[in-house]
Amino acid sequence: MRETDDHQPMLRAPKVVLLLIGVLIGVQALISLGGRTVEVALIVELGLFPARFFEPGLEGLPGGLGKGIGNLWTYGLLHGGWAHCLMNSAFLLAFASPVAQRLGWRRFLVMLILCTAIAGLGEVFVASEAHYLIPIIGASGGVAGMVGAAARFAFQSGAWTTGPEGRAHQRLLPLSGVFKSGPVLLFIAIWLGANVVFGLLGPLGVGTPNGAPANIAWVAHMLGFVAGLLLIGWFDKTPLSPSGGPGNVDYGGWKGRQ
């Protein structure tokens, strides 16, 4: 028995994912080279401030609701340091790659933006008035969406379908099947539990890259994950049967054998 090349592309990062990682690293490099002045300017321009949704212009913060809505995806370009940036880049590489391979770059980008926006909006609405001027930054909300999306098919060992481009994909687990799959439920429990724990212990420096106290946006992580888990079913293309017609065909155990 020999695995065919159809199985290998999931392990290769699509260009769109590498480009996104390059943008994240490029922005962080710009901040590092530009110093505090550039960092503050970028945070004010791209960061997600709850004040823009509830109290526009609070203490001189420029931009109102319209800018706040735009910042629902731009905040994902910024990070609190190199450790934060590289950690999110690594998770993006691991989990966004199979999702991008499955959806194609256009659908992948739209879904990533939606997950990022939903995650950020949730964090905005749980912020207290004392945190209205504290910027929400980081790609982890969108990355969490890719983790949730991957959970719908990454555990489908041996269940393969052929997508419109002719490449073999693991069959997408129906949403109802999520609650019947032990591995998926365990993965979800570990992911959500870890985010709650690190979110609560983050201000004590537990789980942060450098051990420094930090406010971890665990609500954004959880909402992003749930958004990805749900949206992948809507964005996923209808699989094709070997004859070229629509149909969710399971190739079973003989797929990839010679």
Q: Which residue has 């960061």 as its token pair?
A: 47
Structure confidence at residue 165 (pLDDT) = 52
User: Could you report the per-residue pLDDT of 169-184, keeping only the tens digit for each?
Assistant: 678 888 888 888 888 9
What are the phi and psi torsion angles at 169 (to 5°)? -130, 150
Q: Which pLDDT does position 250 carry in this prediction?
A: 45
Convert the pLDDT of each residue in 92-109 to its tens digit: 999 999 999 999 999 999
Give the range of the structural domain holding residue 46, as residue numbers without chain letter. Answer: 5-254
Looking at the structure of the chain, the number of domains it has is 1
Spell out, as residue ranges, where the chain has pLDDT lower than 50. 1-11, 164, 240-258
- 119, 120, 124, 130: CA torsion to nearest 10: 110
CATH value at residue 164: 1.20.1540.10
Residue 41, CA distances (Å) to 60, 84, 102, 135, 215 in order: 14, 19, 37, 12, 21
pLDDT at 211: 57
pLDDT at 210: 57
HEC string for 96-140: HHHHHHHHCHHHHHHHHHHHHHHHHHHHHHHCCHHHCCCCECCCH
Please say whether the dihedral angle defined by the alpha carbons of residues 84, 85, 86 and 89, taken in this order, is positive or negative. Answer: positive
> What integer pLDDT is reported at residue 206 of this predicted model?
52
* Measured distance CA(143)–CA(111) in Å, rounded: 11
The reported pLDDT for the residue numbered 3 is: 40
DSSP E strands in the chain: the ranges are 160-162, 168-170
